[in-house]
Amino acid sequence: MTYDFDTVADRTGLASAKWSVAPGELPMWVADMDFVLALPIAQAVQWRAAQTSFGYSETPAEWTQAVAGWWGGRHGWTIDETAIGFCTGVIPALSSLVRTLTPVGGNVLVQTPVYNHFFSSIENSGRHVVSNDLVYDDDHYDIDWDDLESKLADPATSLFFLCNPHNPTGQVWTPAELARMGQLATDHGVVVVSDEIHCDITDPAVLYTPFAVASPDCPAVVCLSATKTFSIPGLQTSAVVVEDEALRQKVFDGLNRDEVGEPNSFATTAAIAAFTKGGQWADEMRAYVQANKDHATSAIKAMGLHVVPGQATYLLWIDCADLVGSDGDATDFCHFLRDTTGLFVSDGAQYRGPRFFRLNLGCPRVLVDDGLQRLATGVAAWRARV
């Protein structure tokens, strides 16, 4: 490898949300990596800082070109650059889209278990979450197509939040699945919002399909970002792509109204560097993460827990049925794990998958091994107490 993924990035004194934990605790929860920043991004940010001018920023043409170039070159999606708008993050975009495209009291469809901020973006805006629950069979999640169509057909449902690839399960939706979801949404006049923030973190042999490629005729908003792939969420940068012209005007007007459409001084600079010079770093990171996932899956299986096979993200979705029962809730176990070992994981209940927890492996192997040892200790102690 050209890049170093074994060195632990020093985040002390940086007000890191992930590492704001008690001494001795190991945070493996939020989707935030602990690798040293890709050199091209660090160099670009250092160059920008050296300019010593931090007035209001516009979105440069180079940023739009970089976004279009990355998705065209790596994912086969030819994007008209006029369809790309800047947003300060995918979560701000989701919240703005709810306010722009749905009435107060209306329904927004999701597929649980799913990224927890889907719920807050919907509910904090005075709308209702409606779920097309994914069907779990121990090794795979399937879509309940009859239930999906029934809920899309509800006149109160006007927006569908899709997670592609899916977080927290790591599932990569097939082109056929995406096309079928898009057709059903189109048939019932529902706009699809596809959150594709994890799209570049697939297993090395796996490619994801952009929703807009699989379902080009469906009115849709696709949310993209460099923040997960390159671990730069603190720079607050994302792209919102809307190919339908009428829908685009509504969406971009909404981003402007909500004051989330203007970049800070580093947001576009970092994204341009990532998308034009970060390809090799991203590929090497994917290979490293895959090795971490293989290593951890084997160790966790030996503990009597089940890792749901996923083809994307650096996150493991772990079934605790062996500890809490098939109808159980892993919340108490997650608290116990942190209290007894210092390992901080994401409780599955926040994604509405209560029998599970999520483990972040976007980190050097030394941290992975530390986390696995703590997990084994916690599992043994939990079994001993019950």
pLDDT at 138: 81
Helix 175-187 to helix 145-152 angle (10° resolution) is 30
Q: Which residues of 92-131 are buried (b: 16+ CB within 10 A; e: fewer)?
A: bbbbbbbbbbbeeebbbbbbebbbbbbbebbeebebebbb
Backbone angles phi, psi at 156, to 5 degrees: -80, -10
pLDDT at 386: 59
| Start-end of H helices in the chain | 39-49, 61-75, 90-101, 116-123, 145-152, 175-187, 211-214, 227-230, 245-257, 267-277, 279-302, 321-324, 331-341, 365-385
CA distance to 28, 357, 360, 368, per residue, from 364 (Å): 12, 20, 11, 7
For strand 107-110 and strand 157-163, is the pairing parallel, antiparallel, or unpaired? parallel
The token pair at 69 is 């170039």
User: Residues 100, 254: contact at Cβ < 8 Å?
Assistant: yes
pLDDT at 139: 86
Distance, CA of 113 to CA of 148 (rounded, Å)? 15
For the sheet with 191-195, list strands across it.
84-87, 238-241, 220-224, 191-195, 157-163, 107-110, 128-131
Domains of the chain: 26-38+279-385 (3.90.1150.10), 43-277 (3.40.640.10)
CA distance to 85, 124, 141, 152, per residue, from 159 (Å): 20, 16, 22, 9
Q: For every one of its 386 residues, what pLDDT tens digit does the chain have, with 9 covering 90 and above?
A: 799 999 999 898 999 999 999 999 999 999 999 999 999 999 999 999 999 999 999 999 999 999 999 999 999 999 999 999 999 999 999 999 999 999 999 999 999 999 999 999 999 999 999 999 999 998 889 999 999 999 999 999 999 999 999 999 999 999 999 999 999 999 999 999 999 999 999 999 999 999 999 999 999 999 999 999 999 999 999 999 999 999 999 999 999 999 999 999 999 999 999 999 999 999 999 999 999 999 999 999 999 999 999 999 999 999 999 999 999 999 999 999 999 999 999 999 999 999 999 999 999 999 999 999 999 999 999 999 85
